[in-house]
Chain A
Amino acid sequence: MSMRYVSLERVRGLKAFQRSALSRSQGSAGACQGCLSSGTGELPARMRALRNQPDRLAEILGATRKRNQYGDYLSLRCWCAQPARYLPDIAALRLLMAQAPDEIGNPDHWLFLDTETTGLAGGSGTYAFLVGVGWWEGGGLEIEQFFMRECSEERALLLALRERILERPVLITFNGKSFDWPLLETRYRMSRKISVPTPRVHLDFLHPARTLWRLRLGSVRLSELESHVLGWDRGCDVLTDLIPRIYFDFIRGGPPERLIPVFHHNQMDLRGLAALSTRILSLLSNAENLGQDGMELFGVSRICEKQGEHTRARHLYEKSIASFLPRETDRAARRSLARLAKRQGDFDLACELWREAAGNSRQGYEAYEQLAIYYEHKARDTEEARHIVRQALDELGRANQMGDITPAAYREIKARFDYRIQRLERKSRRPLLDLMAPQASRARPTAHDQAARQAGQSAEQIRRRIDGTLTNSSVDEQWPQA
């Protein structure tokens, strides 16, 4: 009964058959680039006829048709002398991944991976039609690219890829943790036949690259990094956004020549990734000598600090501040250095940095606050603490009058300092409790002065409750016990 609705004439009129305005505009942008035929939705009958030449692509690429139990796929291999094989330092690797197993240090276990996909949205309808892998061989990089000429070749491709991953279980990617690998996992699950080859370790260089260069470059796309960090020039590279369309056109019978830049793009991505990993790891193992500028040093010290290598981090922060840094980065470096100094109990340095930083900026007010915390809790100099908070409030008031601060930020920061000054004023009116607390807590805990300790504890508790630090304790207010 329902079949009567399916009449061809009416089907064509459906909205569901029309493309959205978005994809139309993308199509026209593509035409301007000269990379695409102008027709987007409709497929000329002529193109379908071309489909009968499946080997033509292999011919022009110099690729081989391979076959396994699931069928055919294309494989293209090449070797590049650049970048050259690099033996990484296990200590540098552990800065990126603290619990990395030992085999990560053996570059012969490494497999670089990059995919070209039919879309960026993810989901089970996005295919990885071209998967490139690379490994060190003969002093350079050996690259193998797996390609499916149509969707039904996917299983064969996945099986071949699986073998490569099992051979070299250390997976190296750029943004692979959130994009390439989940997508491949989806593909393996969709195959229902081939189990997912789980790599032993997966090292994604996007995050270290971001830490090192985002401040300088703004964007950390692989191609940006290549030109600015590695000094490479890709020449005329295909636009990433156009890759899915180029593949779809090929599937619909378009000329295979247009795929050549896509293969090239994928190779360049793999080479860039390999070179970048070398650059990052050598920086991490020897930033002191290899760091090109203060920015890189600053990046390395951030990574060290994150992994708990505070001494090295502090040293590098100092070094980066000593070299030229742009203002914003300089501020950030000094702030981090002060944080480390505070953590290590070097309050002279910390205070000096905070005093330099104090001023009308978010970091400036934070510095005021740190100073106030130091004098209130550590140096126990309530007067100085009050003085600093007043200074901060004056600064804030001036900035507000001059319109140098947004109203929302003003309100928020003012509330914090108001709260602090009230507490300090209260405190100055009850010195006895303050005196009792440190004395009592310093007392040696023997059985005899149990009572004294309890009194001290309760005094401390009262004090903290009044201060609001008991319920409101933040990391900044917790001090290392000397």
Chain B
Amino acid sequence: MPTLESLARRRPTSLEVIHQLLSSLVARYRGEEVLTAVRQIPAREANFRPLPSWVTSALAEAYRAKGIARLYSHQAKSIELVRGGANIVVVTPTASGKTLCYNLPVLNAIMEDSDSRALYLFPTKALAQDQLAELQDIGKRLSDSFAVFTYDGDTPNDARKAIRERGNIVLTNPDMLHTGILPHHTKWMRLFEKLRFIVLDEVHIYRGVFGSHLANVLRRLKRVARFYGSDPQFICSTATIANPGELASQLIEKPVEVVDEDGAPAGEKLFVFYNPPLVNRNLGIRRSYINQATRVAKELLAQNLQTIVFVNSRLHTEVLLTYLQQANLPKPGKPDPICGYRGGYLPGERREIERGLRDGRILGVVATNALELGIDIGCLDACVMAGYPGSIASTWQRAGRAGRRSGSSCAVFVASSAPLDQFIVRHPEYFFGRSPEQAHIQPDNLEILVNHLKCAAFELPISPDERFGSVDLAELCEQLGEVGFLDQSGGNWHWIDEAYPADAISLRSVTSDNVVIIDSSGKDNGKPEVIGEVDFSSALTTVHPKAIYIHQGQQYHVEQLDFDKRKAYVKPVKVDYFTDAIRYTEVRVLDIAEEQRIQGPAVRAQGDVLVRSQVVGFKKIKFFTNENVGSGRLELAENEMHTTAFWLTLGHSLLLDLPFSLSQRQNGIFGLLYVLGSMATLLMMCDRRDLGTAIGERPPGAASEIDWEEFATSPPKITQAKEFFEPNLYIYDAYPGGIGFSEPLYRVSNMLLNSTRELIGSCPCEIGCPSCVGPTQEASEGTKEVTFEILTRLTREARLVATRTAETE
């Protein structure tokens, strides 16, 4: 860890301020490890290359007029590769001029042939708007010799025809491509006939379900392009992840060249990890990270440093905003210097805030991830992150919001007491080293694939020798024919159904089944009002009858869940407890794809499983004290899905060898599952909801021998009553068919176990806390110790090396 003195060589303004701030923090909490990392990232010189001679003179002139006469090395490399016909993925941090990597080849192609077309896909509408402004600016300098439009749900109907006919560059999003463009491809004939490029921006967003869907949408797009005789080239860009090439080539199913050098200049940056001090060592409770982040932000703002504060929820945006606005009252006659920015603000408001940030009128902004992606807000001085953004890639993107182009800046990460936050803040080397995060997709997830196959058949008849990736379609078409969606005629499979299949498929989840939440009290206008929705799979745990559903800080009591109509009726209430559903989950192994004996002795494996789950009851838990103040039984439908899982089987001898009591051992197993689940989400860049965990007994057939209901309502009893002989610890994909986490988890299982052990080993709590092995009660003492011991046995070799582990292959 660098000492503070070592930073003192150069002291630009913001560094100086942060330096003072750091000293005061160190002084206040001496003895506690509050600042776990202070890294100075030195300024970097630009690496220039000349503009290649093949760039048309008009375009070169237009860029020169914008002040771009030379290219950064990565830009030059990218455009040369594209010129040579390659599909590329550009991996660069924020503000390194990656848009030029795709705009220049596209515009050059249009200059050479004014009929050339390109399709840009952005994960959000806001990003498309931002790019539109950029392209229009160049367009003006080229005397409007090309047409660029956005095409999304907001595009007025009368403008659509012109866009389809004339747009050289169409900026859209995957959802619109899926429901609006591909099913109507004949109207887009002009575009598809001359489609030269497809630009995929921010591809690291396309992971998990969304990515698996997008890969299939792209399969359809390529089919339609082929129908019109074009074979477009792909240009992708991504934030830093461990496997950019793999992800991009999985998405587009073509070989991809990776450009990952960075020739852009960067200003000096100070990166600080701040762990709020402990207030209760036993329970692992720390000072509120929201308050701590507010303090840091206040001091930065007090020095007149333009600051962005990132929080992870809309609610916290408002909380932090209130604190900061109180501390920075507007000057008479001037607008508020501190603003909020999150989903739910109107587009006009957002544009106003973006402009205010660029021209310096706004000093501070409290934002959610809405401001994380490429939207241009100029260069700020400082960034404070309240809570871990969920992935290293996001963290760097957020930090990149400060000091985009030049000058010095600082980024402060304030950790919450969640396990991931605690792991990251205590293992800075994990963060600052090469990114271990992998983005994975499973385009061949059968549920997703079949849905897109239906759309594909709607778009163009499917010939029997067609394939989606490596999947033969003939057999699936046969099946779809049997249930009456398709009909084989003249050799090809034709869509014969009235429904418009794309409408029924949402790209952002596996099935578009949603449960609508209706406030039946009619407090606003006397009419029942829809206040939100939850996806089908989580409906059972969040809006079961008698649950307390919390929406925008307001509690609602669920009166009725109408499962068939997909509606939940709620009424606002004010109570001092929340509910936690008790779910019974049973996993049965269907097919073992890979299996290997590991240290321990234990076994690691991955394959297909059947997960059956049922919500059998719920607990009422009091706010703040987390006391259990009651419970209830529920009789809800059972949910069954085929999916993929990674699992560990702990050998019987391993458990017998442990110098602990039976109940302690059982607690240790549950603690291990909890912490493995947390760590897996970190490695897989996914949400906690994307992975499910469960314990079962080996042999697989008799997975559930324990009385689950009893276990769920009173955990301590079961630990005395039953003993696992050889437990299986499952981490499964929480989507039917699996979305590609299991195999990568199997591959990195050594890393998973080692990181998990480090997490527990470095947690300062005594008997286990929510930051490591999960919340513990008096009866479950020893959990942390046992968990650590099991992990030690599983990673015996690694203990000897005692350093960070390398990924296993």
Contacts and interface: CB of A to CB of B under 8 A. Distances in A.
Interface of A: 1-6, 8, 10-17, 19-20, 22-23, 40-43, 118-125, 127, 150-153, 185-186, 189-190, 192, 244-245, 248, 251-252
Contacts of B185: 124
A151 B486 CA distance: 11
A22 B480 CA distance: 19
Given A122-B184, A123-B500, A186-B186, A151 B479 contact: no
Interface in B485-504: 487, 489-492, 494-501, 503-504
Contacts of A22: 499
A11 B489 contact: no
7 contacts: A6-B472, A15-B447, A123-B183, A123-B184, A124-B186, A150-B490, A252-B484
Nearest to A188: B186
Interface of B: 183-187, 189, 227, 444-447, 450-451, 454, 457-461, 469-472, 475-476, 479-480, 482-484, 487, 489-492, 494-501, 503-504, 511, 591, 593, 642, 736-737
A124 B446 contact: no
Nearest to B502: A123
A6 B487 contact: no
B487 A251 contact: yes
Nearest to A23: B499
B483 to A, nearest CB: 5
B461 A151 contact: yes
Given A20-B504, A151-B494, A125 B447 contact: no
Contacts of B451: 16
A122 B183 CA distance: 9
B498 A1 contact: no
Nearest to A120: B498
Q: Which 4 A-B pairs have the closest CB atoms?
A: A152-B490, A125-B458, A2-B444, A151-B494
Contacts of B446: 5-6, 10-11, 14
A120 B496 CA distance: 13
A124 B484 contact: no
Contacts of B187: 186
Nearest to B497: A248
A5 B737 contact: yes
Contacts, number: 124
B450 A14 contact: yes
* Most chain B CB atoms below 10 A, which of A17, A22, A23, A185: A17
A150 B447 contact: no
A112 B743 CA distance: 61
B484 A3 contact: no
Contacts of B495: 125
Contact of B482 (A4, A6, A13, A43): A43
Contacts of A252: 484, 487, 496
B161 to A, nearest CB: 11
B634 to A, nearest CB: 24
A150 B489 contact: yes
A201 B504 CA distance: 38
A40 B593 CA distance: 38
* Most chain B CB atoms below 10 A, which of A8, A10, A151: A151
* Most chain B CB atoms below 10 A, which of A6, A8, A40, A127: A6
Nearest to B185: A124
Contact of B469 (A2, A19, A152): A2
Contact of A16 (B183, B454, B500): B454
A159 to B, nearest CB: 15
Contact of B183 (A12, A124, A127): A124
Given A43-B484, A150-B489, A125 B186 contact: no
A125 B487 contact: no
B489 A190 contact: no
Nearest to B505: A16
A261 B184 CA distance: 31
Contacts of A20: 499, 504
* Most chain B CB atoms below 10 A, which of A8, A15, A251: A15
A41 B483 contact: yes
A3 B444 CA distance: 8
Nearest to B459: A124
B735 to A, nearest CB: 12
Nearest to A11: B479
Given A11-B476, A244-B498, A189 B186 contact: yes
A282 B397 CA distance: 71
Contact of A5 (B183, B445, B459, B482): B445
Contacts of A6: 446, 471-472, 475-476
Contacts of A5: 444-446, 737
Contact of A121 (B480, B482, B500): B500
B445 A8 contact: no
A124 B185 CA distance: 7
B479 A17 contact: yes
B500 A152 contact: no
B294 to A, nearest CB: 43
B440 to A, nearest CB: 14
A20 B459 CA distance: 20
Given A3-B471, A124-B183, A8 B479 contact: yes
Contacts of A10: 446, 642
Given A17-B480, A124-B458, A125-B495, A119 B450 contact: no
Contacts of B483: 17, 19, 41-42
Given A20-B499, A42-B484, A119-B498, 13 more contacts: A4-B593, A5-B444, A10-B446, A15-B511, A16-B447, A19-B483, A22-B499, A23-B498, A121-B503, A123-B458, A151-B487, A151-B496, A152-B489
Contacts of A14: 446-447, 450, 736
Nearest to B737: A5
Contacts of A12: 479
A125 B454 CA distance: 10
A147 to B, nearest CB: 14
Contacts of B227: 192
A423 B440 CA distance: 68
Contacts of B491: 152
A76 to B, nearest CB: 21
A151 B489 contact: yes
A12 B183 CA distance: 26
Contacts of A42: 483-484
A119 B458 CA distance: 12
B263 to A, nearest CB: 37
Contacts of A185: 186
Contact of A1 (B470, B475, B511): B470
A118 B496 contact: yes
Nearest to B451: A16
Contacts of A124: 183-186, 458-460
Contacts of A127: 494
B775 to A, nearest CB: 35
A189 B189 contact: yes
B490 A2 contact: no
B444 A17 contact: no
B27 to A, nearest CB: 58
B460 A190 contact: yes
B499 A2 contact: no
A4 B737 CA distance: 12
A125 B471 contact: no
A127 B737 CA distance: 33
B781 to A, nearest CB: 44
A3 B500 CA distance: 28
Contacts of A43: 482, 484
A372 to B, nearest CB: 35
A13 B642 contact: yes
Contacts of A189: 186, 189
Contacts of A1: 470
Contacts of B484: 40-43, 248, 252
A366 to B, nearest CB: 28
Contacts of B469: 2
A242 B17 CA distance: 74
Nearest to B512: A15
A16 B450 contact: yes
